[in-house]
Amino acid sequence: MARTPAGTPDHPQGAERFNEDRATHAVRGSDQPDIETGVAAIRDTVKTLKPKPGVYRMLDARGDVLYVGKARVLKNRVANYMQVDRLSNRLRRMVSQTRSMTIVTTNSEAEALLLEAQLIKRFRPPYNVLLRDDKSFPFILLRADHAFPRITKHRGARKAKGSYYGPFASAGSVNVTINALQKLFLLRSCTDGFFSRRDRPCLLYQIKRCSAPCVGRIDKAGYGELVRQAKDFLGGKSSAVQRELEAQMARAAEDLDFERAAMLRDRLRAATFIQGSQAINAGALQNADVFAIACKGGQFAIQAFFIRGGQNWGHRAFFPTHTEGLDEEAVLTSFLAQFYEEVPPARTVLVDRDLAEGDLLAEALSELAGGKVEIALGQRGDRRRLVEQASRNAVEALDRRLAESGTKAKLNRELAEFLELAEPPERIEVYDNSHIQGANALGAMIVAGPEGFVKGQYRKWNIRSAQTNDDFGMMREVFQRRFARAAEEDPDRDSGMWPDLVLIDGGKGQMSAARETLEEMGVEDVPLIAIAKGPHHGREGREVFHFPDGREKTLPVNSPLLFHLQRLRDEVHRYAIGAHREKRSRAITASPLDEIPGIGPARKRALLLHFGTAGKVRAAALNDLKRAPGVSAAVAQAVYDFYHPAG
C-alpha cells in the first residue's frame, strides 16, 4: 500500500500543507569529499530553517540523494551535523560528501516519518537503512465488480473494487491458499472475458474447484452465499463457517443426498487443510504482525510473521542493508517505517524490544490505517510465545545467511582467480540472444551480485539493425546499445552500474563480436569471458571458457565453481527464452488490421466478425465496409484508404 500521506508534495492537498524549499544551497569548492565544504553547505541551509517538523535530504555534488532524515524540529536536527567532533565515522563521511540540501516542512512529526519512508523508497540513499527486497507483497482479492465475483492473486496498487486479504509472505503461500479456497468455496478464478464465452463447464468444475456460474450450474443467490462464507472465513470466522458446513453435511446425509454430503465433506477437508497448514499457531490473536531482529557480525536479520483473521499467512526474513554503525533498535525502527509504506498495517504490531520512537511510529501507522495501531512488546501468553518464536527464527535466518555469504564469497574469490580478475566481481552481467530461424530476435542480459541474482536490473533488447539470423551481429548490436547508454549516463563509472565481469553465452565468434564492439567504443577495461559447451557437453557438461586473447580454459566436472558459472549461464538462457516466447506469442496474436491508424480493438473485432479474415477486409469494397455492423462511414473510409492509397 504505497499511500501518500495527506500534506505531502505528492498529495492533492499538498500545496496547502507543505512548503518545500527546493533552492539549492551551492557551495564553492572541490567536488572531492571535503568535510569543511560539507559543513558550510549545511550551515547555509540552517540559516533558512525554522523550528518546524519536516524532512531533509542531503545531496552530493551531482545532486544525488545521500541521506533522507526527519525531525520534530528541523533547525535543531540539521544543526547537529555541524558538530563534527560528535559525529560517527559514518556520518562524517556523509557530511564530507554533502554539497546541498533540500527541505520539506510538515504539520507533524508523524507526517514527516511517513514522508521520510516514501523518499527513502524512491531515492534509496546510500546512508539510509534499506530493505534489501522491496518487492510488493501478494494479496488475495475477492473482486466486487461482477455479478459472480472471482477470487485471484493480486500485487501492486489496490485499485480494483473488492475485498483484499493479506499480505501473504510469498507467492507460493498465496497460491496454495487460493487453491484450497477454491476447493472450499468453489469460487471462479477465470477472467470476465473467459467467463462470458463459456457454453459448457471448464475443467475446474470437473475437478470440483468451481461451481460453474458461467453456465448456470449455480444461481446468483447461491453463489452469493459462497462469497459470504469466503469473506467470513478470510475475515477470521473460520470456525463458524466450518460449523455451518458440518450442519449442511449432516442435513444432506439425513435427506439421503449422499452426493451433496460428499461434496460438503470435501469442502470441510479443504478448510481443515488451510488451518492445518499453518506452521505458526496464532492463538488468540486475530490481526497482528510480529517482528524480531537479530544481529551478528555487523549484519542484521528481521523475522516477520503475518497473522490475519486468526490464521498465519506466512513468515519471511528480511536482511536490511546500509546498517553500518547502527544499533538494533534504530535498524528495526527504520525498517518498520519503510515496510509499512508498502503494506497495510495490522491493528497490532508486536516487536521484541522497546523502540524509542514507538509512540511516534504508532501514530504514523494509525494515520495510514485509518484507525488505531498498537505497537507493543510480546510480554505474556500468545504474544510472548510468538515473539520468542520470531526471535529464534531471526537468529536461524541470520546464521543461514552468514553461512551462504561465506560460500558465495569463497566462490567469488575462486572465480576471480580462475578468470584472472584483479579482485572478486561485485556486478556480473551475462548476455544471450534468442530467436527461431531469425524470427522475433532479441538480446537478453541478467545481473548477479554478491547476494545472488538482481532481477530488477535484468534487461532485454529487440534486435533492430542486425540481420536476425546473424548471432554475431546481434551480439554486436546488444553490446553497442548497452555500453553506449552506460557511457552516456555514467561516464565516470561511479554509480555501480558498470560490470566488473561480462559473461557471454557463446564461443569464439560471440567473444570476437563483443570484444571488437567494445574496442570500437573505447571500452577496454571490462573483463570479457565467453562460455561455450564443449565437445562432450552431454552428460559431462564440460564447458569451455574463451578469453579475449584466444586462450581457453576448462574446470573439473565436479567443481563448485563450474556449477556456479553454469547456473549464471542457465539463468540468462531461461530469461532470454522466456522473453522470446512472450514476444512470439504477441506476434502470433497480431493482426494486419493492427497497422491501420485509428482502428481500436472493438472495431477490429467487428470487421473480423463480419468479413471472417483480414484478407477479406483488405479486398472489400468501400460500400461493403460501410455495411459492417459497428463501423461508421469515416472508419470504413479510413480502412479502404489504408489498403487503396491514392496514386
8 A C-beta contact, residue 432 and residue 576: yes
Any domain includes 281: no
The CATH number assigned to the domain holding 330 equals 3.30.420.10
Task: Give the span between the Cα atoms of 236 and 19, in whole angstroms.
Answer: 44
Same-domain check for residues 603 and 578: no
Q: What is the largest CA-CA distance in the chain?
A: 91
Neighbouring C-beta atoms of residue 575, cutoff 10 Å:
21
Query: Does the pLDDT of residue 440 top 70, yes or no?
Result: no
Same-domain check for residues 146 and 261: yes
Same-domain check for residues 598 and 578: no
pLDDT in tens, 98-151: 999 999 999 999 999 999 998 998 888 999 988 765 567 888 899 988 889 999
Mean pLDDT score, 535-540: 51
Show the cell assigned to 304.
516477520
Mean pLDDT score, 597-602: 75
Any domain includes 261: yes
Residue 182: per-residue pLDDT = 84
Same-domain check for residues 450 and 558: yes
The CATH number assigned to the domain holding 481 equals 3.30.420.340
8 A C-beta contact, residue 74 and residue 51: yes
Show the cell assigned to 261.
454430503
* CA quadruple 263, 264, 267, 272: dihedral sign: negative
- Which of 539, 558, 587 is the endpoint of a domain? 587
Q: Where are the beta strands (DSSP E) in 85-147?
A: 100-105, 139-143
Name every residue whose Cβ is closer than 8 Å to that of residue 558 and which is 6 or more positions away in sequence.
Answer: none
Neighbouring C-beta atoms of residue 288, cutoff 10 Å:
23
Helix (H, G, I), strand (E, B), or coil: what is residue 96? helix
pLDDT in tens, 269-317: 777 666 555 445 555 677 889 999 999 988 899 999 888 877 777 788 8
Same-domain check for residues 178 and 214: yes
Task: Give the span between the Cα atoms of 390 and 353, in whole angstroms.
Answer: 12
Same-domain check for residues 580 and 432: yes
Any domain includes 210: yes
Residue 97: per-residue pLDDT = 93
Residue 207: per-residue pLDDT = 83
Burial of residue 243, with CB atoms counted within 10 A of its CB: 0-12 exposed, 13-18 middle, 19 or more buried: exposed
Any domain includes 328: yes
The total of structural domains in the chain comes to: 5
Dihedral angle over CA of 354, 365, 166, 336, nearest 10 = -40
Show the cell assigned to 473.
551481429
Same-domain check for residues 466 and 537: yes
8 A C-beta contact, residue 307 and residue 346: yes
Residue 115: per-residue pLDDT = 92
- Which of 276, 300, 334 is the endpoint of a domain? 276
Name every residue whose Cβ is closer than 8 Å to that of residue 397 and which is 6 or more positions away in sequence.
Answer: 294, 301, 303, 317
Helix (H) or strand (E) holding 542, with range, is: none
- Which of 276, 297, 329 is the endpoint of a domain? 276
Query: Percent of the chain having pLDDT more than 90?
Result: 27
Same-domain check for residues 583 and 438: yes
Same-domain check for residues 304 and 254: no
Any domain includes 414: no
Q: Where are the beta strands (DSSP E) in 367-418?
A: 374-377
* CA quadruple 276, 279, 285, 286: dihedral sign: negative
Domain span at residue 478? 428-587
Any domain includes 384: yes
Amino acid at 210: C
Q: Residue by residue, what is the 3-state secondary structure of 186-244?
A: CCCCCCHHHHHHCCCCCHHHHCCCCCCHHHCCCCHHHHHHHHHHHHHHHCCCHHHHHHH
Show the cell assigned to 154.
493480486
The CATH number assigned to the domain holding 622 equals 1.10.150.20
Same-domain check for residues 580 and 600: no
Q: Which long-range contacts (CB under 8 A, 24 or more apart) does 550-558 make?
A: 550/508, 553/418, 555/418
Residue 30: per-residue pLDDT = 39
Task: Give the span between the Cα atoms of 23 and 43, in whole angstroms.
Answer: 14
Give which of 454, 125, 128, 131 is closest to 301, Cα–Cα. 131
Most confident stretch, 22-26, 456-460, 462-466: 456-460
Any domain includes 269: yes
Show the cell assigned to 362.
504508532
Mean pLDDT score, 513-530: 89
- Pairing between strand 543-546 and 374-377? unpaired
The CATH number assigned to the domain holding 29 equals 3.40.1440.10
Same-domain check for residues 331 and 348: yes
Which of the pair, 7 or 179, is modelled with greater confidence? 179
Helix (H, G, I), strand (E, B), or coil: what is residue 375? strand
Q: What is the DSSP string of 595-620?
A: GSTT--HHHHHHHHHHHSSHHHHHH-
pLDDT class of 24 with cuts at 50, 70, 90: very low
Mean pLDDT of the chain: 82
The upper half-sphere exposure of residue 92, i.e. CA atoms within 13 Å in the direction of its Cβ, equals 7
Any domain includes 406: no
- CB neighbour burial string for 487-507, b if at least 16 within 10 angstroms, e if fewer: eeeeeeeeeeebbbbbbbbbb
- Using omega within 30 degrees of 0 as the cis cutoff, is the peptide bond preceding 320 cis? no
Same-domain check for residues 183 and 256: yes
Residue 95: per-residue pLDDT = 94
Task: Give the span between the Cα atoms of 375 and 388, in whole angstroms.
Answer: 16
Among all chains, which residue has been given the C-alpha cell 493482426? 591
